[in-house]
Amino acid sequence: MILSPRPTKRDKAIAQSVATSVSKDFMALGGISVPALVRAFEYADEYDQACCLAKLGFDVDMSVVEALVNLRPLWIEHHTNAVVAWVMENGVRFPAKVGQNIRFMTPGHKLNCNGCVDSIVFGEARAIVAVGDEKKMDYLSAAAEDVIQILTGLDAPMPIKADPVRNTVGFQLLIAANA
């Protein structure tokens, strides 16, 4: 079975959904239309989005820039909803369990990494994976479709000592929100 690609934060459908949900607010700010917002949302940075709107002929002031910045939580909500719908539609689930060692592709598919599954975000079919060692630990997000192998025996890295604070989902979400 070939999966459709996992929704990304900048997918057109998500941009359209966000633009539609805030259209009244942006129309009141300066007559900014849904198609103009969708066009501006092609840029990840709010400053670049504001520049795009200005180039499209809209009067962009600080209130428009602030409104664009304030959309971040809405983007996260719409993206999460799209990913959850994609997971349900495709029947995707994360292939490993907490504590298992995996080899996975990093976001952007630049590197293979080995790490230990720290926690699983079931609705999104992804996990927070601890990579590194006791001296330098990092946590990465791994999507189910990026898992290459569940490591066992000699392939598996040494177990990582649990840190009860860092290993909570709330702590990981706090780190992800500040990244």
pLDDT tens digits, one per residue of 151-174: 986 555 554 444 544 545 555 555
Q: Are residues 37 and 60 in the same domain?
A: yes
Q: Side chain identity at 33, as an amino acid letter? A: S
Residue 23 has pLDDT above 60, yes or no: yes
Residue that is last in its domain, among 22, 56, 90: 90
Residue 95 lies in a domain: no
Q: Which residue has the tokens 């664009």?
A: 68
Give domain status of residue 6, yes or no: no
The predicted pLDDT at position 162 comes to: 47
Residue 7 domain-assigned (yes or no): no
Contact 64, 50 (CB under 8 A): yes
43-64 residue pLDDT tens: 989 999 999 999 999 999 999 9
Q: What is the mean pLDDT of residues 101-115?
A: 84
Q: Is residue 161 part of a domain?
A: yes
* Total of domains in the chain: 2
- Residue ending a domain, among 66, 90, 114, is 90
Note whether 76 and 119 are same-domain residues: no
